[in-house]
């Protein structure tokens, strides 16, 4: 195999080469990060785009084995923001020149839910004179629903594959058609066909996951020509079935380090996509998201969910910013982004360059 420094100059990567990058020791890791930062500044530039995250409901029909808000976790108090609360959060984002919002929730597919989102999309466009970009992250829906929401004003959708290895996917989800790998893949295909900029991603450091799985995840992103990726460390939650396997997972610091290497390696593999600095990084290291920005990521999602609801959207333990309101979050984030040597793309959608090229 080529020496490490030669692999860093590649345009295409084999599975073994990706594994080598992901297994980099201290000095090689430093070289990987320097190269990823260089590729980032030459392709997507130094700007970071803001997506105000509104976790508008924790009601979910699914039971993913890793997730703190899964249907069968009876300790969670279920909530749904009112239309007014959602619109106020969007207005905050617009007035503070965030450029875009992400509306995220558990997975509900009832006609009432679908219709409600549809009307909300139209109202958000109205209140911002069409200026706020809208990303949705509401799980698997029918192709018709995706189509309808696309027409009502959303143009980006996030749906993580969680793991591209079908066997591992089955281990971290209940064994039924509702949670099937095939259904997930079909949903990602449907989103692409409806003309969305599609974001996907995985959790890093899952029980049973190997570095080969992670290399395959990167190749999966490339094969499906994804436009955006959001991936972060898996973090255990004691009220979930996967907690049983906590002894077999890497330490939090190891998961964090691996997540940064995944971001940097992906930047080399897919230079012009958008890569988010995942919130889960911050749950392990307070400066985790900023560290990701300096080695390849270019998107950040400040939390705009009203504080009183945040403790009920605990996907994993130690989720950050539980009691900081949107204004405080904004102030501290701006300073941190500047410290990371990046510039904020105020009022810009910051669409994926890869998507534009694909068009």
Question: Least distance (Å) from ligand SF4 to the CB of residue 4?
Answer: 36
Which one of ligand SAM, ligand SF4, none interacts with residue 70, CB within 5 to 8 A by kind? ligand SF4
Which one of ligand SF4, ligand SAM, none interacts with residue 234, CB within 5 to 8 A by kind? ligand SAM
Q: Which stretch binds ligand SAM (CB under 6 A): 88-96, 234-242, 302-310, 321-329?
A: 234-242
In whole angstroms, give the CA distance from residue 294 to residue 278. Answer: 13
Least Cα distance to 209 among 228, 226, 231 occurs for 231
Q: Which stretch binds ligand SAM (CB under 6 A): 102-110, 184-192, 291-299, 304-312?
A: 102-110
**Contacts of 154 by beta carbon, 8 Å cutoff, 6+ apart:** 121, 134, 135, 136, 196
Question: Least distance (Å) from ligand SAM to the CB of residue 117?
Answer: 13
Q: Residue 53, interface with ligand SAM (CB under 6 A)? A: no
Q: Residue 205, interface with ligand SAM (CB under 6 A)? A: no
User: What tokens were used for 59?
Assistant: 């009601």
Number of Cβ within a 10 Å radius of residue 247:
6
In whole angstroms, give the CA distance from residue 359 to residue 356. Answer: 5
Question: Least distance (Å) from ligand SF4 to the CB of residue 60?
Answer: 3
Which one of ligand SAM, ligand SF4, none interacts with residue 194, CB within 5 to 8 A by kind? none
CB 202 within 8 A of CB 161: yes
Residue among 120, 249, 258, 315 that touches ligand SAM (CB under 6 A): 315
In whole angstroms, give the CA distance from residue 139 to residue 242. Answer: 20
Question: Least distance (Å) from ligand SF4 to the CB of residue 185?
Answer: 15
Question: Least distance (Å) from ligand SAM to the CB of residue 106?
Answer: 5
Residue among 106, 199, 320, 350 that touches ligand SAM (CB under 6 A): 106
Of 162 and 272, which CB lies nearer to ligand SF4 in the complex structure? 162
Residue 325, burial from CB neighbour count under 10 angstroms (0-12, 13-18, 19+):
middle
Q: Residue 304, interface with ligand SAM (CB under 6 A)? A: no
End-to-end CA gap in the chain: 36
Count of residues engaged in binding ligand SAM, rule: CB under 6 A: 17
| Residue whose pair of structure tokens reads 């290291």 in the numeric block | 285
Least Cα distance to 199 among 252, 148, 244, 136 occurs for 136
Question: Least distance (Å) from ligand SAM to the CB of residue 344?
Answer: 24
Q: Residue 161, interface with ligand SAM (CB under 6 A)? A: no
In whole angstroms, give the CA distance from residue 69 to residue 79. Answer: 11
Residue among 52, 133, 139, 345 that touches ligand SAM (CB under 6 A): 139
> 2 has which bridge partners?
none
16 φ, ψ to 5°? -65, -40
Residues that bind ligand SAM (CB under 6 A): 66-67, 104, 106-107, 137, 139, 159-160, 162, 203, 234-235, 237, 280, 315-316
């Amino acid at each position: 195999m080529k020496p490490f420094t030669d692999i860093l100059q590649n345009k295409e990567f084999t599975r073994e080469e990706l594994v080598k990058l992901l297994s980099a020791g201290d000095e090689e890791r430093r070289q990987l990060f320097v190269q990823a930062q260089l590729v980032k500044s030459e392709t997507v530039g130094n700007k970071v785009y803001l997506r105000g995250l509104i976790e508008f409901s924790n009601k979910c029909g699914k039971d993913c084995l890793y997730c703190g808000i899964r249907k069968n976790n009876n300790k969670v108090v279920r909530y749904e923001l009112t239309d007014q609360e959602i619109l106020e959060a969007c207005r905050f984002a617009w007035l503070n020149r965030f450029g875009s919002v992400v509306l995220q929730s558990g997975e509900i597919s009832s006609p009432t839910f679908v219709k409600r989102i549809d009307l909300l999309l139209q109202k958000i466009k109205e209140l911002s004179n069409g200026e706020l970009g809208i990303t949705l992250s509401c799980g698997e829906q029918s192709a018709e629903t995706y189509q309808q929401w696309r027409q009502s004003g959303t143009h980006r959708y996030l749906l993580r594959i969680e793991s591209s290895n079908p066997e591992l996917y089955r281990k971290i989800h209940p064994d039924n058609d509702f949670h099937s790998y095939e259904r997930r893949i079909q949903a990602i295909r449907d989103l692409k066909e409806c003309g969305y900029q599609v974001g996907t991603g995985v959790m890093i450091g899952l029980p049973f996951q190997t570095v080969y799985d992670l290399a395959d995840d990167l190749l999966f992103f490339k094969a499906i020509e994804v436009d955006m990726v959001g991936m972060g460390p898996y973090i255990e939650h004691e009220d979930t079935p996967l907690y049983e396997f906590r002894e077999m997972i890497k330490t939090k610091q190891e998961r964090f380090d691996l997540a940064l290497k995944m971001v940097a390696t992906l930047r080399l593999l897919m230079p012009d996509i958008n890569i988010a600095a995942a919130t889960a990084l911050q749950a392990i290291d307070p400066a985790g998201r900023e560290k990701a920005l300096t080695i390849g990521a270019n998107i950040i999602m400040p939390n705009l969910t009203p504080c009183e609801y945040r403790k009920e959207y605990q996907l994993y333990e130690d989720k950050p910013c539980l009691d900081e309101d949107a204004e405080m979050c904004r102030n501290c984030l701006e300073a941190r982004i500047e410290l990371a040597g990046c510039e904020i793309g105020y009022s810009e959608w910051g669409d994926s360059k890869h998507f534009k090229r694909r068009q």
